[in-house]
Amino acid sequence: MKRIISEVTKVKRRVLTEVARLAFAGNLIQEIDKLPHKLTEEGVRESRCCSYKERAVLSARIGQAMGADLREFNYCTRLSDAARGVLSGAVSPGPGVQVMEVACDRCPIDKYIVTDACRNCTGHFCAAACPRKAIQTIHNKAFIDHQKCVECGLCSKACPFGAILEVSRPCERACPVGAVRPGQKRNAIIDETKCVECGACILACPFGAITDRAQVVSVIQSLINPAKKVVALVAPSLAGQFGPLVSPAQIRAALLRLGFSDVMETALGADAVAAAEAAEFQERLGGDAFITSSCCPAFVNLVQKHFPDLAGHLSTTVSPMIAAAQKIKAAMPDTEVVFIGPCVAKKGEALDHGCGLIDGVLTFEELAAMFVAKEINVAEIQTDRLWAEASTLGRNFAQSGGVAKALAASLPPTVTFSPCLGNGLASCLDLLKQAANGAIEWNFLEGMACIGGCIGGPGALADEKAAVRALEKHANESPWEKPADNPSILGFSLADLHQKK
Amino acid sequence: MSKKVVEVCLGTSCHLLGASDLLEWLQNGLPQPFKERLDIRGVACLKHCHQGPCLRLDGRLITGASPENLLQELTRVLIAGGQHETNHI
């Protein structure tokens, strides 16, 4: 069966919508304490043990939707106090991806479990296969001594009945860098020193217990303030995210209706980045064996946290988000810039490398909840306006292979450019390991932490296949094919598009 | 045999609750004998935004749609002759 969104995703989106509705109405503090009860009364359930637990979990979800720091959030926290904290801006930045302790079901930790299918056979293949002598027969059944077990899995393979089951926590399995582990209370814990904020565990947890922090409330606070001008900077992956009937131009019109003063394509920044990175590539190739892309923040985190020796190979070019924000802030310094995309790691990038250029980050999921809260149906918006600020190849940054293609088109044909694609975090990890061993045949690594590129991101709404079709259509509608054809990139000074060391 | 019309609401509210995934499932996940007797369309709004995902099957509104309850309804409409027992599920 095709991917159909789960009940837990529906609950999460419902909560986001209700929080956004209150924030737009300006009565968050007065009404938020009643929300968990209101939602359970309306039948929002996630099959927890009792309605008290349902409300406790909903309260944590509401805290997440408001952007509160969940580490400071427990069963005595009043939602109205948390709302006051968020509205006054007194929220600690904290880690981007967090576990909601109350929602975590403390799944089994032991990797191999003997099930009732064990017949205590005469063969005892499991015990014979075990290199650590960890299996004995107790109560007519094989028993694994977990003090001795090294989780090699040989017993499971040896059992002719398939009676030994391999179980692993979905959150741990989803994390290729081993950042999710069981804590003392057996609840999942995220090791911040390892986490690259890709968000794979958020999607993987069947209890919806892992989450990023929404900035819906603070963005709405700026939108409803008539004294503020807020520009929406939208990622190219927006094509197709609001359903098959909706064009990017309609999304643009809906954003203006939501209260944004202007809308800009991040892909314009991508065009400038392609030019800057191509120049950097030519300059550095003499000395360096290879350089890597730097537009995916989770990939940059992966290199910095897990391969610090290779960090020098990262391109110093800023991400398209930062490049585009620089341009907006240079022209209009008093404007706030909100980036909207499918990405969780951009929230951390905005804090760490944003240098005050990015005032907020929303995912497409959060934006859709805001549209619903404001009763804007994007599918019904009429617009005949054409919207083109970026080139075909700039818009294609949103899918795997897109950055490499844009770079190839920006380099002179005499330069040897042999790119290699890291598609998904596991693939990036493999390629970086090869690079660390020095055995590589490529000179450019495009690293994207989500499979398929940004369109496969955790904050995306559309099915990946539908998103690829929509992105290609959107990209091909641009009047310019290559980044260099786009006249707007003349407005960028390429020398300013590098991170200050 | 005339085809039964399925109109899937693709308004933002229904889309957020998975309507576009349902459309994709109807177009590519249904058994062929079902699919060839359906005329599947997307519509901008069915005016039941608080009860999504919504769709209209042979003129009848279905709210809170999921593959499970849709399969049941499709079986009733296509195989059992489509007698309307109730106005709502």
Q: For A281-332, what is each residue's pLDDT tens digit?
A: 998 887 778 999 999 999 999 999 999 999 999 999 999 999 999 999 999 9
Are A11 and A208 contacting, i.e. CB atoms less than 8 angstroms apart? yes
**pLDDT attached to residue B89:** 46
Are A83 and A221 contacting, i.e. CB atoms less than 8 angstroms apart? no
Within A362-455, where are the H helices? 364-373, 392-395, 402-410, 425-437
Which of B11, B13, B22 shows the shortest C-beta gap to A4?
Answer: B22
* A77: exposed, middle or buried (Cβ count in 10 Å: 0-12, 13-18, 19+): middle
Q: Are B20 and A1 a contacting pair at CB < 8 A?
A: no
First to last CA, chain B: 26
Distance of CA A344 to the CA centre of its chain: 3
Give CA torsion, residues B12, B15, B20, B25, to 10 deg. Answer: -150
**pLDDT attached to residue A104:** 92
Closest-CA distance, A10 to chain B, in angstroms, reads 6
Choose among A224, A215, A227: nearest CA to A24: A224
Q: Which residues in A lie closer than 8 A to residue B23 (C-beta atoms)?
A: 244
Which residue positions in chain A have pLDDT lower than 70? 1-3, 500-501
3-state class (DSSP) for residue B27:
helix
Whole-model pTM: value is 0.91
Q: What is the DSSP string of A238-302?
A: GTTTT-TT--HHHHHHHHHHHT-SEEEEHHHHHHHHHHHHHHHHHHHTTT-S-EE----HHHHHH
The reply to whether A76 touches chain B by the CB within 8 Å rule is: no
Any idea which residue has 């944590």 for tokens?
A60
**pLDDT attached to residue B81:** 63
Q: Which residues in A lie closer than 8 A to residue B49 (C-beta atoms)?
A: 372, 375, 377
Distance CA A16, CA A13 (A): 5
Distance CA A13, CA A91 (A): 22
Q: For A351-368, what is each residue's pLDDT tens digit?
A: 887 778 999 999 999 999
3-state class (DSSP) for residue A369:
helix
Q: Are B12 and A379 a contacting pair at CB < 8 A?
A: yes
A280: CB partners within 8 A, 6+ apart: A291, A315, A316, A317, A498
Any idea which residue has 């005469």 for tokens?
A122
The reply to whether A7 touches chain B by the CB within 8 Å rule is: no
Choose among A96, A101, A50: nearest CA to A75: A101
- Amino acid identity of residue A47, one-letter, is S
Closest-CA distance, B1 to chain A, in angstroms, reads 28
A74 to A64, A70, A77, A100, B51: CA distances (angstroms): 12, 8, 5, 9, 31
**pLDDT attached to residue A2:** 40
ipTM, 2 dp:
0.87
**pLDDT attached to residue A1:** 33
The reply to whether A463 touches chain B by the CB within 8 Å rule is: yes
**pLDDT attached to residue A73:** 75
Q: Which residues in A lie closer than 8 A to residue B7 (C-beta atoms)?
A: none
Distance CA A345, CA A357 (A): 16
Distance CA A454, CA A463 (A): 12
A160 cis-preceded (ω within 30 degrees of 0)? no
Any idea which residue has 């499979």 for tokens?
A451
Any idea which residue has 């991806």 for tokens?
A97
Distance CA A212, CA A228 (A): 26
**pLDDT attached to residue A108:** 80
**pLDDT attached to residue B1:** 66
Distance CA A456, CA A83 (A): 32
Closest-CA distance, B2 to chain A, in angstroms, reads 26
**pLDDT attached to residue A74:** 73
Top residue of B8, B10, B15 to mutate, by most chain A CBs within 10 Å, is B15
First to last CA, chain A: 49
